[in-house]
């Protein structure tokens, strides 16, 4: 999974999901260290004011899992700091994703583990909260609820969740989309405009005759890969 994703982007994966009629589940999260990338099985943990839920999740993790922390997208405190990230690194996890804020940015940057979050703030939780009984079963990230039956991929564009049993399908389609788009880019650099490659003049003619014709329909008819 990691080796194949290393040659792809999250944009390729979302396009692949569209082509395969798989719901596109993505959110905008920032990588703490520029260029950070992550791929692995979701390891969910719902935060409730204490790190014990993270330690419990990590204790049951498999190498390569990605700790996905649900802190409700809160912006009033950080729920993950350098010790949690270092613990995840020591356990062989593939990364940490926080639907909320982190702190200890400089120390996290020194750890060789990808971390994604909504941003940073100095303060940690100010008081404990009631822990959910299913705190280790699922995590909500943006509008999406994910479990260990999902995989997560992240880069500087954000993160995307894919059903674990469809990862091979999505990666395969993403690779084909990447190859098509790279060929298109090479032709643009060689002075063949994208408009010519996708026969844009033909599309305008078709649309003039039939306003219901969409650009995506036209792209499918000429083998284009953009917008899907």
Strand-strand pairing, 158-163 and 150-155: antiparallel
Phi first, then psi: what are they for 77, rounded to 5°?
Answer: -160, 165
* Residue 177: partners with Cβ closer than 8 Å, 6 or more residues away: 12, 15, 16, 19, 225, 228
pLDDT tens-digit profile of 41-66? 999 999 998 899 999 999 999 999 99
Of 137, 117, 17, which is closest to residue 77 (Cα–Cα)? 117
Pair (144, 225) in one structural domain: no
Please report whether residue 184 resides in a domain.
no
Q: pTM for the whole thing?
A: 0.91
pLDDT per residue rounded down to tens, the chain (228 residues): 999 999 999 999 999 999 999 999 999 999 999 999 999 999 999 999 889 999 999 999 999 999 999 999 999 999 999 999 999 999 999 999 999 999 999 999 999 999 999 999 999 998 777 888 899 999 999 999 999 999 999 999 999 999 999 999 999 999 999 998 999 999 999 999 999 999 999 999 999 999 999 998 888 887 665 555
Please report whether residue 40 resides in a domain.
yes
Please report whether residue 66 resides in a domain.
yes
Please report whether residue 97 resides in a domain.
yes
**54 is written with which tokens?**
């993270």
Please report whether residue 174 resides in a domain.
no
Query: In which domain, by residue range, is 205 found?
Result: 193-228
Which residues carry a binding-site annotation for substrate? 81-84, 103
pLDDT tens-digit profile of 96-122? 999 999 999 999 999 999 999 999 999
Pair (67, 146) in one structural domain: yes
Which residues carry a binding-site annotation? 81-84, 103-104
DSSP state of 103: -
Please report whether residue 181 resides in a domain.
no
Pair (126, 199) in one structural domain: no
Domain boundary among 169, 185, 204: 169
Pair (7, 72) in one structural domain: yes
Which residues carry a binding-site annotation for Mg(2+)? 104
Query: 74: burial class by Cβ within 10 Å (0-12, 13-18, 19+)?
Result: middle
Pair (127, 226) in one structural domain: no
What is the number of structural domains in the chain? 2
């Amino acid at each position: 999974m990691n080796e194949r994703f290393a040659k792809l982007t999250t944009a390729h994966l979302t396009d692949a999901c569209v082509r395969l009629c798989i719901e596109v589940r993505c959110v905008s999260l920032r990588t703490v260290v520029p260029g950070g990338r992550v791929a692995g099985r979701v390891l969910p943990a719902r935060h409730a004011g204490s790190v014990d839920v993270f330690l419990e999740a990590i204790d049951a993790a498999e190498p390569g899992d990605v700790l996905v922390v649900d802190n409700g997208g809160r912006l009033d405190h950080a729920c993950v700091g350098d010790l949690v990230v270092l613990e995840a690194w020591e356990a062989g996890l593939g990364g940490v994703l926080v639907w909320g804020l982190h702190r200890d940015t400089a120390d996290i940057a020194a750890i060789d583990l990808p971390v994604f979050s909504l941003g940073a703030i100095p303060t940690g939780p100010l008081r404990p909260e009631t822990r959910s009984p299913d705190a280790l079963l699922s995590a909500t990230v943006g509008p999406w609820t994910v479990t260990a039956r999902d995989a997560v991929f992240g880069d500087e564009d954000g993160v995307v969740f894919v059903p674990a049993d469809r990862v091979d399908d999505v990666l395969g389609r993403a690779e084909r989309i990447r190859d098509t788009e790279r060929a298109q880019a090479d032709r643009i650099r060689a002075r063949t405009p994208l408009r010519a490659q996708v026969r844009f003049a033909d599309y305008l003619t078709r649309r003039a005759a039939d306003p219901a014709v969409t650009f995506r329909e036209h792209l499918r008819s000429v083998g284009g890969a953009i917008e899907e």
